[in-house]
Amino acid sequence: MLKRALAVVCSLIIAAGIVGQCFSTTVYAQSQEATRAREVVRATPAEGTVTLNEQFFNSLLDAVFTNLKAPTFPLALASTDQKKKTASGESSQASLKLSSLSLSHVSLKPDTCESVVTLERETSGVKTAVHFENGRVVAPLAFKGAYSVALIGCVYFRGWADTVINLSFDRQRQVLSARVTIVDIHLNNIPSLASGMVIRLVQNSLDSRINPIEILQAVQLSTRIPIAGSGGALRMRATEIRPEVVAGALSLHIFYEFAPAE
């Protein structure tokens, strides 16, 4: 009888232990699921979209040419290292290619020649502008410039370039950048023989002096939001900017994360 009673008690104790363990495991699992659910909610990115049309950018260009000096940058055949290696070769090639230029475009005073290219608002009916078409950013750029060529002198040129602007977001630097690529170039009263050299000059100058162009930093789109009645604030931090070219406009999809403000 005593053995049977002890067996019943032991059975109850073991059963209670199993039930308790199961209950504890169930509660712990539910707690984990709730925590994971909160983490998922917290990790869901918020997205905001800013759309800028062509008129915005072209009004910006109008303001630049009206209120500021025309953008000017020096011309370069190649990078500094390449110049050291090929200076003499490039000079002789340039001389040969430009030997057929009309003297009306050449000054024999190279000391007074500043090798630069300057953007213009308009030339030969072509305006510097920004267009959004076929999922691309295209920009005709009107310009004028001069370049000092050995044995020839100062060569003056004017025209416009067809360019494509590629936008990309650098996750590591958290910066939206643009890179300008020249597709074609049109020179006024300059033989086509020289246009290839001018394209190379301008593209190399863009790559060494301008590209990539920093458009926007993610931190510029971040802010602190005070929450009334909660006794605190949230930090709205931009984590990514995805550009999308649509018909006649540029959409910037901005992704945010929220965290307690320090």
153: pLDDT strictly greater than 90: no
- 243 neighbors 52 (Cβ within 8 angstroms): no
Residues 6+ apart with CB under 8 A from 262: 235
pLDDT at 192: 62
The pLDDT of residue 3? 37
Mean pLDDT of 74-83: 54
pLDDT given for residue 47 in this prediction: 95
Decide: 130 and 119 in contact? Cβ < 8 Å: no
Choose the weakest-confidence range: 24-33, 182-191, 201-210: 24-33
Which DSSP symbol is given to 113? -
Which backbone phi and psi does 222 adopt, to 5 degrees? -95, 155
Q: What would the pLDDT profile of 86-95 be if each residue is shown by its tens digit?
A: 444 444 444 3
In the predicted model, what is the mean pLDDT of the chain? 76
Question: What pLDDT does residue 80 have?
Answer: 42
Element (H, E) at 221: none
152 within 8 A of 98, measured Cβ to Cβ:
yes
Give the pLDDT confidence score for residue 134 in this predicted structure. Answer: 87
Residue 21 has pLDDT above 90, yes or no: no
Checking if the pLDDT of 67 tops 90, the result is yes
Q: In whole angstroms, what is the distance from residue 195 CA to residue 223 CA?
A: 48
Q: What are phi and psi of 88, to 5 degrees?
A: -65, -40
More confident residue, 115 or 222: 222
Q: Single out the residue of 154, 156, 140, 141 nearest to residue 188, CA to CA.
A: 156
Q: Alpha-carbon distance 5 to 183, whole Å?
A: 96
Q: Are 97 and 125 in contact (CB under 8 A)?
A: no
Is the link from the previous residue into 140 a cis peptide, with omega within 30 of 0?
Answer: no
Rg (CA), the chain: 33
Concatenating the DSSP letter of every residue in 192-211 gives HHHHHHHHHHHHHHIIIIIP
- The helix (H) or strand (E) run that includes residue 52 is strand 46-53
Residue pointed to by tokens 């009334």:
228
pLDDT at residue number 218: 96
Crossing angle, helix 80-97 and helix 192-205, to 10 degrees? Answer: 170
Average pLDDT over residues 51-66: 96
pLDDT tens by residue, 23-36: 343 434 444 555 54
The span from the CA of 252 to the CA of 220, in Å, is 14
Helices H, strands E: what count in the chain? 4, 14
